[in-house]
A and B are shown apart, each in its own frame.
Chain A
Amino acid sequence: MNHLSDDDLVLHYYGEDAPDMVAAERHLKSCAQCARAYETLARSLDAVTPPEFVGSVDDLPDLREMIRARLRAHSSPLGVGRSTRWEETGLIALVWLVPLAYPFSLQALFGSARWTQEHVVGIPLVAFALIWACAGPFLAMSAMNRFESHSGLSTRLLVFGALMAAISPALFLFVSRVDASLALNLGVWAWYGALAVAALAAMVRWPDTSYSKEQLSYVHRLTALFLTVFVLAHVINQALAFVSLASYTAMRGVMRGASQQPATYALLVAAVVIQITTGAAVSMKNLRSGSFARNLQTVSGWFLAAFLLVHVLSPVLFSPPTEVSTTAAASASQFDLLATPRSAAQLPFLLLGVAAFLSHVGVYARLAALAYLAEASVRRLSYAGALVGTTVVVAVGLSLCGIHL
């Protein structure tokens, strides 16, 4: 056996080296160098004894008074918890208002873009309309951070409302495609019909899956690895369009050729389906109030699922393919998504898709990095990653609006 490392010695000290414990002990008996190192470690750790609380813990009256005071601060004069209930109702109304108003944000986006062609002062209006159209996932994040319980109708309404707010840009495109593909010509009523179905689904209590979070996460990560290669190539290429349209078009041709091979396409579709189902199950187990990182991963995962559904499954679900293309530049020959009302709907869809992908992978990378780096280093890397991600999203956004270097 080789010499035991410092970490091996720590595991041995705490009895956490179960499969190798006997071998480690045998080695310590035969190797003077390791035995000395272990003795020094044990001496230091043995000297770290647990402190005992010597103060009084008979502070029950104080504790009772503190909890009552905090409850009074939370509640209205009319009754305990009433203001919280109003707050919750307001939050539910707000998250459902986002998808209800979503079609108007697209009209505002296209209208302000047209106005910009005549007056330069319209640019802030375009930015405002774009923020409005992209606000859903951020509002969903805020709602998830405030949500209080894991059961009950109000929680389901809040979670489903947050889900609909988060995926509105993708789901709106999907519903429009279904409407166009089936020649229903329902227009915006198709969208409100979809929202009504989601509201009804929120009324039903959903069963808990019997698979553990670890099993689901493992399958989720496995298929994510496969998809990440394709999505990352897409994102890089989309950012490349900001620099050179010719390079963008050439690379897009190569990627399309690869992804349209029957075997590759079948694998892609299967990976997306597995991603959506395992992601949905894991996210429902992961919801936790006030946990920013987990909720960011959940909300970005929701959007990614809807994004991939529209982007990859559309040719399978709608045959023959509709005229609307979800590929950024292909939909508008002049590479300007603000050129037509139809292509304008793709701007928040694609921008949020890139942001969701980077956030989802970023949060996972941050959690994984904690296993190898100190917290402070991970925090600094996270800030750097957020800066790079924002730059990529802005570059993609500008290229999609027809602004290139």
Chain B
Amino acid sequence: MNDGCDLEVFLSLVERHRRYMYNLALRMTGNEQDAKDVVQDSLLNAYLHLEQFERRANLRTWLNRILVNCALDHLRSRRRRPDVSEPQPISDVADTIASSSPDPERLLASADWRRQVSAAMDTMSPLERVTFALRHFEGCSINEIAQTVGIGNNAAKQHIFRAVRKIRLALEPHWSGR
């Protein structure tokens, strides 16, 4: 374990990665409070296991790996105490988003749409959600995702397929026939 002096050095080391970590955590967990908890837990874990950080490795890669595992743990514990709210109907949201006018109506529709996407993502299992977020939002390759999460390439691929199927199931009815 590290002593008190190392804490300041550690915090200045991770400072430039924190904004990125908060965004990644938000994309995996879906809400800001959970993202904050995940980032705090992962930074604590990183500090406690600082001696495991190999000098040849990239700090962000190492922090990402810890962050992803913390997010998985967090999502799994969240599933054990579900707080699922009914997704709101979309109505004509898809049409409104498709238009380019940045008026208040469109902004409101955009928020509705985001809620619908968020509800679709809430139906995903923790592994599906994390692998999808890493692939879709972060642009990580399937190989990188498999290594970060600690599963096989094929398993990572299948989780992404299942996640995309859930997204399509929730969103495609609003595109069909248009």
Contacts and interface: CB of A to CB of B under 8 A. Distances in A.
Contact of A47 (B97, B162, B164): B97
Interface residues of B, number: 57
A63 B11 contact: yes
12 contacts: A44-B172, A47-B94, A47-B117, A50-B137, A51-B27, A51-B114, A53-B22, A80-B3, A367-B155, A370-B159, A371-B158, A374-B125
B119 to A, nearest CB: 12
Interface of B: 1, 3-4, 7, 11, 15, 18-19, 22-23, 25-27, 30, 32, 35-36, 40, 43-44, 47, 49, 51-52, 94, 97, 113-114, 117, 125-128, 135-137, 141-142, 150-152, 154-155, 157-162, 164-165, 167-168, 171-172, 175-176
Contacts of B23: 50, 52-53
Given A7-B157, A55-B32, A60-B11, 15 more contacts: A7-B161, A10-B161, A14-B160, A16-B157, A43-B175, A50-B136, A55-B22, A63-B43, A66-B44, A68-B4, A70-B44, A75-B1, A149-B49, A149-B52, A370-B127
List the 5 closest A-B pairs by CB distance, nearest first.
Answer: A81-B1, A371-B155, A50-B137, A371-B154, A53-B22
B167 A150 contact: no
A66 B11 CA distance: 12
A263 interface: no
A68 to B, nearest CB: 7
Contacts of B136: 14, 45, 48, 50
Looking at chain B's contact residues, is the secondary structure mostly helix, strand, loop, or mixed?
helix
A327 interface: no
Nearest to B113: A47
Range for the number of chain A residues in contact with chain B: 35 or more
A374 B161 CA distance: 11
Contacts of B114: 51
A372 interface: yes
A45 B167 contact: yes
B16 to A, nearest CB: 11
A254 to B, nearest CB: 37
Contacts of B168: 40-41, 44
Nearest to A71: B1
Nearest to B126: A375
A145 to B, nearest CB: 14
A184 interface: no
Q: Which of A47, A59, A68 has the most CB of B within 10 A?
A: A47
A64 B11 contact: yes
Contacts of A52: 23, 26
Interface in A1-56: 6-7, 10-11, 14, 16, 40-41, 43-45, 47-48, 50-55
B161 A57 contact: no
A74 interface: yes
A352 B39 CA distance: 41
A43 B177 CA distance: 13
Nearest to A59: B36
Interface in A140-163: 148-151
A367 B1 contact: no
A67 B7 contact: yes
A376 interface: yes
Contacts of B27: 50-51
A84 interface: yes
A323 to B, nearest CB: 47
A68 B6 CA distance: 11
Given A10-B164, A48-B136, A371-B158, A63 B151 contact: no
B7 A16 contact: no
Contacts of A50: 23, 27, 136-137
A147 to B, nearest CB: 11
Interface in A54-106: 54-55, 57, 59-60, 63-64, 66-68, 70-71, 74-75, 80-81, 84
Contacts of B1: 71, 74-75, 80-81, 84
B107 to A, nearest CB: 14
Nearest to B51: A149
A371 B164 contact: no
Q: Which of A7, A48, A57, A291 has the most CB of B within 10 A?
A: A48
Contacts of A75: 1
A64 B7 contact: yes
Contacts of B15: 60
B34 to A, nearest CB: 11
A366 B174 CA distance: 37
